[in-house]
């Protein structure tokens, strides 16, 4: 096999491994981020509902 | 047919779940910022997931695997160039941090701050037209991919396109960026899983040595070396190095994710983590294309090769999961693109023409209507338009229509004190010339005189667009400094978000 194809094989291996590793980390941490985003939005939503009730 | 009952069940459950999650997200939209940029509350990992999901779609799998099929390993260089582009932004915050600091929702809003309203309007039109043309072929590729992998036959392409469009438009239009962020995250997880499944089965079927042998047999050194490969060469490489930075920083659908982030620093990091995955997300589908070459030989339709490969090697049950992953990739791309381009049309093209100010509610309603119209355009364009070059080059060139001028204007506007309104007009106008000439002249290629044939070379045209736009900005600004003094921008002193109590 020519050297250049070994070079591309190594590049492919590194790139693919990095992709799936970063994807795994982002998935785990992203779940926490998503929870925090939705709970903040929920808190704002219920605060707004309370304000509306008070005003009426 | 490759699809069996179990595959259909997996697919229907996935699609129903996505629409349900997307529609549920409506309740979180409390304001215009909530609709357009998810209230600017997105953190690094979530932002990275949504950005990656936006940037990967069936269209990217199709165009990258087509390159793998047609050019062998030589195209892997694009993965390295793309990685470089994102890393420049991720490490330095180049462009994205500056724009996020100014709290813009669309790129043309910056044109108004730094130049004037008319530049915003012109920039908005170019951004919208380039973006919609770019997106026009997405649905077509999805139709080809899905009918081939599922074994439905190309006659089912239109029906598949219509169903996909209805699903994506429904939740994007109703839920805005909140829906996009939430569904993008779910879709990111599923698409990564789908890519893993496809890669494992491809590598089990065709090993790297036989792929290397086939590439050398079919393409010789050109299949390994991008510099001597006629599809690429130095002009293509230089164009792509510049274009990768410009398109990464100024692609409105992608950069919207940075605008939705908590702070400029988070926006920069989103690009950094996304950049780490970039070489992989290019090379993974490219290798599928090379594997299709090894399995089917060089004589089948280059766009059909990869989906046919996956449809034939991935077993039933797993195929349903993989197709759900690929669909997830596409739906997240559509939703982000639909939202981004309809936002630009509403805020930068239509609103400036109105004599009254649109309320928040009217803004959102108009965006919804335009997103639906863009969806219908995609269907019609996808059914009738024939590509003049490889899919990758078409996408890069239509991207250059908006990115070249925008790159000159935004870079000049943020980092060059002498940039002024004349330079902005010249940059935007000059940037669109070469790609527009290419798209028009390729339709009359045979009647062109020899001296003009360089204009129908997609690589020359792409590089020219950036050179002309930069020249327009520099020359235009320098010759008109006295008459049109540049506007000095003062960014907000502190960009801290309001603290939750």
The tens digit of pLDDT for each residue in B435-470 reads 888 878 877 878 888 887 887 888 888 899 999 999
pLDDT above 80 for B131: yes
- For A19, which residue in chain B has the nearest alpha carbon? B277
Mutate to test the interface with A, among B55, B195, B280, B291 (most CBs of A within 10 A): B280
- Over residues A19-55, the pLDDT tens digits come to 999 999 999 998 888 888 777 666 555 555 566 556 5
CA distance A37 to chain B (A): 7
Question: Hey, of B277, B281, B497, B501, which one would you mutate to test binding to chain A, going by the most A CBs within 10 A of its CB?
Answer: B277
Task: Report, as an integer, the average pLDDT of B255-270.
Answer: 77
The CA distance from B324 to B7, in Å, is: 9
Distance (Å, whole) CA B224 – CA B213: 11
* Structural contact between residues B59 and B138, judged by C-beta atoms closer than 8 angstroms: yes
| Contact criterion met (CB < 8 Å) for B192 and A27 | yes
Tell me how many residue pairs between chain A and chain B have CB atoms under 8 A apart: 115
Q: Of B341, B437, B275, which Cα lies nearest the Cα of B134?
A: B341
Q: Which of B405, B419, B407 is nearest to B478 (CA)?
A: B419
Considering chain B, what percentage of its residues have pLDDT values greater than 70? 91
Instruction: Categorise residue B485: left if φ over 0, alpha if ψ from -120 to 50, beta otherwise.
Output: beta
Kindly report the backbone phi and psi dihedral angles of residue B42, in degrees, each rounded to the nearest multiple of 5, phi listed first. Answer: -80, 135
pLDDT at B9 over 50: yes
Q: Which pLDDT does position B500 carry in this prediction? A: 34
Render pLDDT for B146-161 as a digit per residue (tens, 0 to 9). 888 888 877 788 888 8
Q: Which residue of A has its CA nearest to B208?
A: A9
- Of B339, B22, B8, B331, nearest in space to B187 by CA: B331
pLDDT at B389 over 70: no
Q: Give the pLDDT score at B501.
A: 31
pLDDT given for residue B70 in this prediction: 94
B114 vs B153, residue with greater confidence: B114
Question: Residue B494: pLDDT above 80?
Answer: no
pLDDT at B2: 72
Residue B148: what pLDDT?
83
Stretch B342-347: mean pLDDT: 88
Name the interface residues of A facing B (CB cutoff 8 Å). Answer: 1-2, 4-5, 8-9, 11-12, 14-20, 22-23, 25-27, 29-30, 32-34, 36-38, 40-45, 48
Summary mean pLDDT of chain B: 84
Report pLDDT for B498.
Answer: 37
Residue B414 — very low, low, confident or very high, per pLDDT cuts 50/70/90?
very high
Average pLDDT, stretch B332-352? 84
pLDDT at B204 exceeding the cut of 90: yes
Q: Which span out of B131-140, B173-182, B314-323, B408-417 was modeled with the highest average pLDDT?
A: B408-417
Residues of B in contact with A39 (CB under 8 A): none
Angstrom distance (rounded) from CA B172 to CA B168: 6
Burial class (CB in 10 A: 0-12, 13-18, 19+), B357: exposed
pTM of the model: 0.80
**Of A46, A32, A7, nearest in space to B76 by CA:** A7
Share of chain B above pLDDT 90, in %: 28
Q: Would you place residue B416 in the very low, low, confident or very high pLDDT band (cuts 50, 70, 90)?
A: very high
Tally the residues of chain A.
56
pLDDT at B478: 96
């Amino acid at each position: 096999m020519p050297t250049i194809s070994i070079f591309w094989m190594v590049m492919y291996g590194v790139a693919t491994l990095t992709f799936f590793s970063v994807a795994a980390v982002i998935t785990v941490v992203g779940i926490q981020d998503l929870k925090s985003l939705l709970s903040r939005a929920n808190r704002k939503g219920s605060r707004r509902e309370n304000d509306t009730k008070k005003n009426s | 047919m490759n699809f069996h009952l179990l595959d259909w069940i997996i697919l229907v459950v996935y699609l129903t779940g996505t629409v349900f999650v997307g529609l549920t997200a409506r309740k979180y939209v409390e304001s215009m910022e909530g609709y357009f940029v998810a209230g600017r509350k997105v953190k690094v990992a979530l932002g990275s997931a949504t950005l990656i999901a936006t940037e990967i779609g069936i269209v990217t799998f199709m165009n990258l695997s087509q390159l793998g099929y047609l050019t062998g390993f030589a195209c892997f260089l694009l993965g390295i160039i793309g990685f470089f582009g994102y890393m420049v932004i991720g490490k330095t915050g180049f462009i994205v941090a500056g724009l996020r600091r100014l709290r813009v929702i669309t790129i043309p809003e910056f044109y108004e701050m730094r130049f004037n309203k008319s530049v915003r309007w012109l920039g908005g039109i170019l951004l919208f037209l380039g973006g919609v043309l770019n997106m026009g072929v997405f649905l077509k590729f999805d139709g080809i991919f899905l009918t081939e992998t599922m074994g439905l036959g190309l006659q089912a392409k239109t029906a598949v396109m219509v169903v996909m469009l209805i699903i994506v438009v429904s939740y994007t239009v109703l839920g805005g960026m909140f829906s996009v962020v939430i569904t993008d995250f779910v879709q990111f997880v599923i698409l990564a899983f789908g890519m893993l499944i496809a890669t494992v089965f491809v590598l089990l079927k065709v090993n790297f040595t036989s792929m290397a042998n086939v590439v050398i047999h079919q393409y010789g050194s050109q299949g390994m070396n991008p510099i001597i490969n006629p599809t690429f060469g130095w002009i293509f490489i230089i164009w792509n190095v510049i274009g990768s930075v410009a398109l990464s920083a100024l692609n409105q659908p992608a950069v919207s994710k940075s605008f939705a982030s908590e702070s400029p620093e988070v926006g920069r990091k989103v690009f950094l983590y996304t950049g780490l995955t970039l070489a992989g997300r290019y090379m993974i589908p490219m290798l599928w294309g090379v594997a299709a070459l090894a399995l089917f030989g060089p004589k089948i339709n280059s766009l059909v090769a990869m989906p046919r490969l996956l449809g034939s090697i991935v077993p039933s049950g797993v195929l349903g999961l993989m197709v759900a992953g690929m669909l997830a990739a596409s739906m997240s791309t559509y939703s982000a693109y639909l939202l981004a381009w309809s936002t630009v049309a509403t805020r930068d093209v239509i609103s400036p023409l109105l004599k009254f100010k649109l309320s928040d509610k009217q803004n959102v309603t108009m965006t919804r209507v335009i997103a639906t119209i863009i969806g219908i355009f995609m269907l019609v364009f996808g059914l009738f338009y024939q590509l003049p070059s490889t899919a990758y080059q078409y996408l890069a060139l239509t991207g250059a229509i908006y990115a070249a001028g925008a790159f000159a204007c935004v870079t000049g506007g943020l980092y060059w004190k002498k940039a002024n309104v004349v330079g902005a007009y010249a940059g935007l106008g000059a940037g669109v010339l070469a790609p527009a000439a290419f798209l028009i002249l390729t339709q009359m290629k045979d009647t062109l005189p020899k001296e003009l044939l360089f204009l129908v070379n997609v690589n020359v045209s792409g590089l020219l667009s950036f050179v002309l736009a930069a020249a327009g900005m520099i020359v235009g600004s320098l010759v008109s400094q006295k008459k049109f003094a540049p506007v000095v921008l003062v960014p907000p002193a502190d960009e801290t978000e309001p603290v939750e109590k």
